[in-house]
Amino acid sequence: MPLRLSSHTFTSHAVEAEVEYRLLLPDDHREGERRLPLVLHFHGAMSSSASLELALPLYREAFDAEEFPRAVVACPSTPTQGGFYLDQEDGPAWEAMVGTELPAYLEETFGTFDRVALLGASMGGYGALKQAFADPERFTAVAALSPAVFPGESPADVPARNIPSVLGELHRAMAPGGDARTYARNSVHGRARTRAELIRSSGLSVLIDCGAADEFLLHEGAAYLHGVLTELDIEHTFRLVEGAGHVGPAAERRTLEAIRFLGRALMSR
């Protein structure tokens, strides 16, 4: 059965702007149908909600093979500079918008979501993991592809070679002025350490997937995060794909596997 894609906007109070989002639904979905799971699909840097359109064939493949459930899939457009899935100090709250405000808005149409999962790539992988670790009891699963995480837990610990261009902008945005406490609050590692006991008890399913030849060296950050989660005894699946880069021929297959990972978690609860 096909899936249908549509484009919408809503007025966000968290960012004080109209936010575009794309929505993916089963083709036979009828208004008033309730208790579907929600998947929040977070795009990467310099992208938009159009990334859900690119992923549509992969969701269809998993759905047609009964490896992904009837679900609402939503992808909001978020900026890179000035965004980064961060709540800006005295500015737009992009983390609150994507993780709290948009789901609440969608519940006005679809009713309470009985399960919520997250999928993100690159900058979106950072945003997805950060959301999941902040409130693990709220989420069923999170899948992060080539997440923008760094091999260090304070601003000074991250080698310069790991923070080129846009990654450097994210690194600075996580802690304006270089404050270590603010950095920890905005880092995936910091949230994992702070919420470790709750993550362990929540049953959250976690996938971290990265190419071993990532052009931006994100595999080093992913491996570091794998070490932190292992140290904290947080159950997770870690995949380091030999020969794979940040994008390229393996990217679609890896995204499909991430969708299947979420599908298994959602259908088993």
Using alpha carbons, select from 25, 125, 6, 114 the residue that is nearest to residue 68.
25
141 Ramachandran zone, left/alpha/beta (phi>0; psi -120 to 50) = beta
Stretches where the chain sits below pLDDT 70 are 1, 32
User: pLDDT tens for residues 31-87?
Assistant: 767 789 999 999 999 999 999 999 999 999 999 999 999 999 999 999 999 999 999
CA–CA distance, 183 with 185 (Å, rounded to integer) = 5
Could you give the CA distance from residue 167 to residue 158 in angstroms, rounded to a whole number? 11
Residue 28 has a pLDDT of: 85
Tens-place pLDDT, residues 181-202: 999 999 999 999 999 999 999 9
pLDDT at 35: 80
Among 97, 143, 103, smallest CA distance to 259 is for: 143
Q: What is the CA radius of gyration of the chain?
A: 17
CB 211 within 8 Å of CB 245: yes
Helix axes 249-267, 50-64, angle to 10 degrees: 60
Compute the distance between CA of residue 71 and CA of residue 131 in angstroms, rounded to an integer. Answer: 20
Start-to-end Cα distance in the chain: 23
pLDDT of residue 32: 66
The predicted structure's pLDDT at residue 177: 86
> What's the pLDDT score for residue 155?
95
Q: How far apart are CA 140 and CA 143, in angstroms?
A: 11
Among 246, 199, 256, 192, CA closest to 224: 192
Pair of tokens at residue 55: 């992923």
